[in-house]
Amino acid sequence: MKLLKQITVAAAMAMGLSAFSGSTFAAGDKILIGEINSYKTLPANLEPYKKGWLLAQEQVNAKGGVLGKQLETIFRDDNANAGDAVRIAEELISREQVDILTGVTLSHVGLAVTDFAKQRKRFFLASGPLSDKVVWDNGNRYTYRLRAGTHALSASVAPAAAALKKKRWALIYPNYEYGQAAVASFKSELKRLQPDVEFVAEQAPPFGRLDAGPAVQALEDAKPDAIFNVLFGPDLTKFAREGKTRGLFEGREVVSLLTGEPEYLDPLRGDAPENWIVTGYPYKTIDTPEHRAFIEAYQKKYDDYPRLNSVIGYSTVMALAAGIEKAGSTDTEALIKAFKGLEFNTPFGPTYFRELDNQSMMGIYVGRLAVENRKGAMPTGEYIPGEKLQPSDDYVKSLRKAD
């Protein structure tokens, strides 16, 4: 923590001109990080992610690096394919001889690399996969996760959903691990808070292949009082526009995961829905010392505002720097020990990895959407720390059997 608190903003430098980032150092003078992600499939998410990553790496290196060595990263694209990700992870270890593996956004890819880390006995910091299986059902001693998962996301909005006192709910979600898990958690949490709730319709299109017209009509035909949405990316854009055109949202409350993130609001522009309860990133109104320093540095370097994935990329590097410093090396067993309870800094403030399941306690912002200057926005939000969003320790222990 002491090292990270001393990190200050360095002069702006050019973004990676090749697969590598930062300067090239003689062998033994650098710590090489292998980062795997779906850059081509999710550019709206991962371009900001990489910018946040490079900003943090620049700041760490400007203060002398970690253990007297500079951080350097090899970025690789997994093509949103689990098999490709595992092959790339093996190449990074065997051919590139990286010291640490990290990254991943899509849940099915995250699960594959989690298993790879276990099989190869290599430390892996998962930055963004949302499936809780990464740290619970399929969790192992080699894998840690930075971003909050599906249970925490659903738990963060469930109290607001229950406060609406709507009985009949419809659900729409992508039909793969993330969507299925998020809906299961939301149902469980809402039932706990509002036992008489009914779930009257579900639409579960394949990820990236939403046929918006029929899906919206099916939800309308069910006559729900409220809707829980888990769609994101292009599917969210189609759903929001088609639902608005057909009047699906008129007189109905909508609770939606991720929709308050600029990555997903920006493509909607003036078609962004208003007044939805969402998780997201109200970057304009977070007034803390940590966030003010982050946003000032980010805007100075990129002449742009950060997205939530900018925060995720930045925080992943900060966690790695803190963990390597504490471990005193990049040895896998030393890192596993160091990351247990590790404290590190993020733009949302200090947080830590809990020892029970290797999950970061980085929190979530919840608020309502608005349209400002013909553009979707999450004007404000309540920050809910990760500690308040977790199930019981006994429940987690019952799932986590790999250790």
Residues 237, 374 share a domain? yes
Residues 212, 121 share a domain? no
Residues 310, 347 share a domain? yes
Residues 207, 169 share a domain? yes
Residues 395, 318 share a domain? no
Residues 231, 200 share a domain? yes
Q: What percent of the chain has pLDDT over 90?
A: 88
Residues 183, 137 share a domain? no
The H or E element that residue 124 is part of is strand 124-126
Residues 16, 100 share a domain? yes
The boundaries of the domain holding residue 236 are: 151-284+365-399
Q: Which pLDDT belongs to residue 129?
A: 96
CATH number at residue 317: 3.40.50.2300
Backbone dihedral angles phi then psi of residue 302, each to the nearest 5 degrees: -115, -5
Alpha-carbon span 272 to 257, nearest angstrom? 14
Looking at the 3D structure of the chain, how many domains does it have? 2
Average pLDDT rounded to a whole number, residues 56-81:
98
Q: Which pLDDT belongs to residue 141?
A: 96
Answer yes or no: is pLDDT of 5 > 70.
Answer: no
pLDDT digits (tens, 9 = 90+) for 198-222: 999 999 999 889 999 999 999 999 9
Q: Which pLDDT belongs to residue 177?
A: 86
Answer yes or no: is pLDDT of 174 > 80.
Answer: yes
pLDDT digits (tens, 9 = 90+) for 327-386: 999 999 999 999 999 999 999 999 999 999 999 999 999 999 999 988 999 999 999 999
Residues ≥6 apart with Cβ < 8 Å to 250: none
Q: Which pLDDT belongs to residue 264?
A: 93
- 3-class secondary-structure state, position 235: helix
Ordered strands of the 100-103 beta sheet: 70-77, 30-37, 100-103, 124-126, 143-145
Residues 267, 192 share a domain? yes
Alpha-carbon span 146 to 11, nearest angstrom? 27
Residues 197, 259 share a domain? yes
The alpha-helical segments, DSSP class H, found in 95-176 are: 107-120, 150-163
Answer yes or no: is pLDDT of 283 > 90.
Answer: yes
Residues 192, 75 share a domain? no
pLDDT digits (tens, 9 = 90+) for 12-34: 333 333 333 333 333 468 999 99
